[in-house]
Amino acid sequence: VQCGFCTPAQLLTAKALLDQSPNPSEDEIREALSGVMCRCTGYVKTVEAVQRAAAALRDETVPPIEPLEQELPADAAEVTLPKAFYRRSGERAPLPPLIYTPPEMPKTRVVGKAQKKVDAEKLVRGRPVFTDDKRPAGMLYGALLTSPHAHARIKHINADKARALPGVHAVLTHQDIPRVKYASGGQSYPNPLPYDQASLDDKVRHEGDRVAIAAAETPELAEKALRLIEVDYEILPVVLDPEEAMKAGAPIIHDEPDTEGIFDAQRNIVHRIESKVGDVDAALAAAEHVFEGEYRTPKQQQAHLEPHVCITYWDEDDRLVIRSATQVPFHIRRMVAPLIGLPVKRIRVVKPRIGGGFGNKQEMLLEDLCAHLTIATGRPVRMEYTRRQEFTSSRSRHPNIMRYKVGISAGKIVAADLYLIGDTGAYGTHGLTVQMVGGFKGLTLFNPPNARFVSDVVYTNKPPTGAFRGYGAMQCQFGINVLMAEVAEKLGLDAVKFKRDNWLKVGEPMHLSKSLGEGREGFAQKMESSGLEACVAIGLEATDYYRKREANRQQNGVIRRGIGMAVVMHGSGIAGLDMAAATLKMNDDGSFNLLIGATDLGTGSDTILAQIAAETLGIPVDDLIVYSSDTDFTPFDTGAYASSTTYISGEAVRKTALKIKAQIQEYAALLWKVDRPETLILQDRKVIAPDGRSMT
């Protein structure tokens, strides 16, 4: 189970199949499940689960799935794989997780072990756990009118007919709410400029941009109200290509006077990022070889199965509750407050289970609109994007153009120059930070001592881009990996060895880390540990890389197969910005409430954090009641992004659990008159003294 949004449907489908066919083949299972879309899993585990369920129903023994744990040898070249993992004959059967741990890593009892997810049962049983599963009494249905034009000014808008429709409780346009500028990216305070959006504006900058909202008794009435809104557009010239957008005479997308912080609005350049280390020009001039390459990556939608969805209502204390599928509940509370004219203390944001996010729910897309409708009507309001709106009105990965130039001497990369055009679409949101991460990772993976990064982040009349797994790093590391492979080919080098000789090594400083932080100056960093050597050695073994590569060279014909090797680096958390907290409360029976602000969006972080607490307190995960992501009841957390939850929220949980552990040890030491409380062990729900005494 991952996010679990599709799981009840998978389960019902599997039940129907097994009722008819108790011993289905893999193909039959795949065919049966083909009508149930799952964004998270890739179906491998789902198919295996159906096979195991079928075997159990046939009264066959089904052994538990346990990870295979191996100790990592000191020399990565000596890593061996269990035989089944080689798959040289194209086997497809799922394999258990294979975990290599270095010998110095402490042994664990709960962390890293197979564990049923703390939310698994309610997800599998289809309990009402998602935002839209619970609807307050008297709820209205909100709907969003979006622009059919990629660039237009709203000359006139008239909602009288829509408002007159019986059953319609509110219709709001830019004329009805205060104009407060903001940036929709859910980022730490202060959000990077520019604040180039307003909840509803008198100009639209992409097809799917916001025009008006309505709330009515039924979804159909709300949609009908939208159709009755009369909008007189002055259609403006459109620019979709970021290189065209930067040219003189291109349409100016943000010509409004009240947006601050655009680098060059006349040329649609929202940010110019410049960063360098060493002397790139001199190093390139002195290099034995200089190579260049241009690489382009496309726009890509996150396509989480649960759309953006939000329900807002007033509670009995006249506080506004926002129940939302968001990755960043605390950022939403802070960001929405000025837009709706309420202080933070009168807003509560609750994140139930989320049906996937992949970065796209690190944006404030519906919360402000839904809140405006609740404020206007006094009634609970629900808003949800349609699948079409997910493509036209939410966010996507930045399409990038990357131009690399590298200097190579004696097989080493001595200089690299990267010019990056990041297409941010109609609004800036994550434009600055995504490109900074991209430039940093793209130029640090092979870490030349001379490096220069210049990026133009450019407005176009396309739906805005935002956060998506990897956050810019994927695009730039794709480019540098391809260029390094091309360089190796041209120089007659083994591409794997060439990359290995050049990738960032333990102990090396990351030359650009100080100048390229995330939206601001960063921190000097160096690589402190790395499993890359072993990882690549295992990968080469498992894929039979060299034999296949050689065999592939013998192919003729139009369609040929190839095999390549790429490496990437990724950060966990944002240095100097990310923070987390945890609360543990002990109950009468020795169980604990674990309260965490961290946001589990299907990643399993609630379970991982419970495992960390259980490991530290010597209790089973079952003894932890996990409650997360409610701004009234859980401690502050920046949210789920930057692959940080296990490390940052996890460390908050560990430190909290250590404090509780120390209190338990001290109290037990007092009762037993033991001088050194730290000698008492917490294990199996007990405190155990060195002399064998124990208490619960």
Residues that bind ligand FES (CB under 6 A): 2-7, 38-41, 305, 356, 602
Minimum gap (Å) between residue 428 Cβ and ligand FES: 30
Nearest CB to ligand FES, comparing residues 6 and 416: 6
Minimum gap (Å) between residue 41 Cβ and ligand FES: 5
Q: Is the Cα torsion angle 398, 404, 408, 414 positive or negative in sign?
A: negative
User: Considering only CA atoms, which of 170, 161, 152, 251 is closest in space to residue 209?
Assistant: 152
Minimum gap (Å) between residue 36 Cβ and ligand FES: 8
Nearest CB to ligand FES, comparing residues 122 and 161: 122
Nearest CB to ligand FES, comparing residues 142 and 356: 356
Minimum gap (Å) between residue 8 Cβ and ligand FES: 10
Minimum gap (Å) between residue 39 Cβ and ligand FES: 4
Length of the chain in terms of residues written: 696
C-alpha to C-alpha distance for 16 and 466, rounded to whole angstroms? 40
Nearest CB to ligand FES, comparing residues 356 and 439: 356
Minimum gap (Å) between residue 126 Cβ and ligand FES: 13
Nearest CB to ligand FES, comparing residues 131 and 447: 131
Read off the tokens for 142: 């909100």
Minimum gap (Å) between residue 355 Cβ and ligand FES: 6
Nearest CB to ligand FES, comparing residues 40 and 322: 40
User: Considering only CA atoms, which of 515, 510, 542, 546 is closest in space to residue 528?
Assistant: 510
Nearest CB to ligand FES, comparing residues 304 and 511: 304
Q: Are 432 and 453 in contact (CB under 8 A)?
A: no
Minimum gap (Å) between residue 124 Cβ and ligand FES: 11
Nearest CB to ligand FES, comparing residues 354 and 669: 354
Give residue 617's Cα distance to chain centre.
30
Local structure of 622: helix, strand or coil: helix
Minimum gap (Å) between residue 9 Cβ and ligand FES: 9
Minimum gap (Å) between residue 5 Cβ and ligand FES: 5
261 has which bridge partners?
Answer: none
Minimum gap (Å) between residue 215 Cβ and ligand FES: 29
Nearest CB to ligand FES, comparing residues 39 and 210: 39
Nearest CB to ligand FES, comparing residues 304 and 549: 304
Nearest CB to ligand FES, comparing residues 1 and 350: 1
C-alpha to C-alpha distance for 55 and 62, rounded to whole angstroms? 7
- Indicate the residue type of 489: E
E strand spans, 217-357: 230-235, 269-277, 289-297, 309-314, 320-324, 347-350
Q: Which residue has the tokens 């003729």?
A: 556
User: What are the start-end ranges of the H helices in 108-237?
Assistant: 120-124, 160-164, 219-227
C-alpha to C-alpha distance for 526 and 506, rounded to whole angstroms? 8
C-alpha to C-alpha distance for 55 and 57, rounded to whole angstroms? 5
Nearest CB to ligand FES, comparing residues 305 and 568: 305
Minimum gap (Å) between residue 2 Cβ and ligand FES: 4
Distances 603 to 130, 537, 578 between C-alpha atoms, Å: 15, 28, 18
Nearest CB to ligand FES, comparing residues 31 and 274: 31
User: What are the start-end ranges of the H helices in 554-695?
Assistant: 605-617, 650-672
Minimum gap (Å) between residue 360 Cβ and ligand FES: 14
Nearest CB to ligand FES, comparing residues 41 and 694: 41
Give residue 554's Cα distance to chain centre.
41
Distances 104 to 71, 73, 101, 107, 179 between C-alpha atoms, Å: 10, 11, 8, 9, 58
Minimum gap (Å) between residue 351 Cβ and ligand FES: 16
C-alpha to C-alpha distance for 139 and 218, rounded to whole angstroms? 9
Read off the tokens for 272: 């110019």
Query: Which H, E and C letters describe 476-532, residue by residue?
Result: HHHHHHHHHHHHHHHHCCCHHHHHHHHCCCCCCEECCCCCCCCCCCCCCEECCCCCH
Minimum gap (Å) between residue 114 Cβ and ligand FES: 18
Look at phi and psi of residue 340 and say left if phi exceeds 0, alpha if psi is from -120 to 50, else beta.
Answer: alpha
Strand order in the sheet with 582-586: 582-586, 592-596, 624-628
Buried-exposed string 541-575: b where 16+ CB fall within 10 A, e elsewhere: bebebeeebeeeeeeeeeeeeeeebebbbebebbe
Q: Give the orientation angle of helix 473-491 with respect to helix 495-502, to 10 degrees.
A: 120
Nearest CB to ligand FES, comparing residues 40 and 375: 40
